[in-house]
Amino acid sequence: MSQMETLRNAKWYNSEKENYFIVHGWTNSYKSKVNTLIVSSILKTNDVNVFVLDWSRISIGLYSTSFRSVESIGLHLATFINEMIEEFQLNTCMFMLVGHSLGAHIAGCAGAGVNGLVRYIVGLDPAGPLFTLNNINNRLDVSDANFVQVIHTTAFFGFSSSIGHADYYPNNGKYPQPGCRLDAVCAHGLAFEFYAESVISHGFTSLNCSSYRRYKEGKCNNEHVSYLGRIDIDTR
């Protein structure tokens, strides 16, 4: 039986509902907190289909191996999405991708494989090591979806440059983060915790600002207000 036949026969899948894909990062699996927390938050508040991409057979290996696999895994996911679109006659706006760390770049490559037509991608502290600004073929960028939101929480493990239509930097987007002390892994994981909470609380208020220093000095208080996270993502 093909994947689409299996999906068509699945009691939990409803082709009339929107589709969310969650993609974990390095060393994680479908059982990891990033997935359980986000899936729980989405399903508590929304009647949608949620898929978790489990690429743990590769992610448990060396970072360099996982890094080199990002494009191929993303294209594999894109193939699945494209088959769904054809099988169920779906509009690309019914697809949203959320990825953490390396998973953010996998989501980006998947979005590119759907011709950048998915409704949105949320990149949760996209991985930084080995990725460059010049090469967009193996990472998340604005051409991968109709809208790309990025949440930065550490410049140590994360990609610190702005690579989305809207980039958010909670607590300056660097570690140490509140509650994490000097733990960069903890700070890296805060990105998905912030996102999961935003789904339930309907977003965190943020201000457009040229620097964290200016924000702390109150010089951006009259700037554009935007919301981090949420299901009804802020595209203003």
Which tens digits make up the pLDDT trace of 176-199? 888 898 889 999 999 999 999 999
- Give me the amino acid identity at 174: K
Q: Is 202 a catalytic residue?
A: no
66-91 pLDDT tens trace: 999 999 999 999 999 999 999 999 99
pLDDT value at residue 188: 94
CA triplet 200, 226, 120: central angle to 5 degrees?
Answer: 70
Mean pLDDT computed over 107-133 = 97
Q: In percent, how much of the chain has pLDDT > 70? A: 100
Mean pLDDT computed over 94-113 = 98
Work out the pLDDT band at 1, boundaries 50, 70, 90: low
- Active-site residue (options: 41, 66, 69, 101): 101
Mean pLDDT computed over 27-49 = 96
Q: What is the pTM of this model?
A: 0.95
Q: Which residues contact 82 (CB under 8 A, 6 or more apart)?
A: 113, 114
Token pair for 8: 């068509």
Work out the pLDDT band at 18, boundaries 50, 70, 90: very high
Q: Is 125 a catalytic residue?
A: yes
- CA 175 → CA 156, 170, 172, 178, distances in Å? 7, 10, 8, 8
- Active-site residue (options: 69, 105, 125, 198): 125
- Active-site residue (options: 167, 188, 198, 206): 188
Token pair for 173: 């987007």
Work out the pLDDT band at 217, boundaries 50, 70, 90: confident
* Helix runs in the chain, H state only: 3-9, 33-45, 56-59, 63-88, 102-113, 184-201, 212-216
**Which domains occur in the chain, in start order?**
3-204 (3.40.50.1820)
Work out the pLDDT band at 203, boundaries 50, 70, 90: confident
